Amino acid sequence: MTITCFIRYEIDPFQRDAFKEYAENWGRIIPRCGGQLIGYFLPHEGTNNVAWGLIAFNSLAAYETYRSRLKSEPEGRSNFDMAQLRKFIVREERTFVEAVDGTFCMTLPDRSEPA
């Protein structure tokens, strides 16, 4: 079973660029520590203070191993410290979800091909 850690961030909308830097840093760190980074997402239109991060794992045990590695990883620790110092994350929530078979990464059929 693959699970995804769905992180919802409430961010300071005036520090959007700082959160972007934070997210880009995780792009290097998370895979090194054992997570499969699906991506970070910034607000684009509408609500300007909510961002998301999605990271997949084979199990909750794999997530716990990843968290241990992350806390001891120097660049990871530095990224956490930068967020605390600059205070661009107001609140953070974590939820663990699993994809429903037959619904994930669905695409429309190519209508240019004859049926």
User: Could you tell me if residue 106 is inside a domain?
Assistant: no
Tokens, residue 74? 């120097």
pLDDT tens-digit readout, 54-99: 999 999 999 999 999 998 999 999 999 999 999 999 999 999 999 8
The domain that holds 80 is classified in CATH as: 3.30.70.100
Query: Domain span at residue 46?
Result: 3-97
Average pLDDT of the segment spanning 104-114:
70
User: Could you tell me if residue 71 is inside a domain?
Assistant: yes
User: Could you tell me if residue 109 is inside a domain?
Assistant: no
User: Could you tell me if residue 105 is inside a domain?
Assistant: no
* pLDDT value for 115: 54
Average pLDDT of the segment spanning 90-113:
82
Please state the domain count of the chain: 1
Q: How far apart are CA 38 and CA 73, in angstroms?
A: 20
pLDDT tens-digit readout, 5-51: 999 999 999 999 999 999 999 999 999 999 999 999 999 999 999 99
Tokens, residue 12? 């300071």
User: Could you tell me if residue 27 is inside a domain?
Assistant: yes
pTM of the model: 0.85
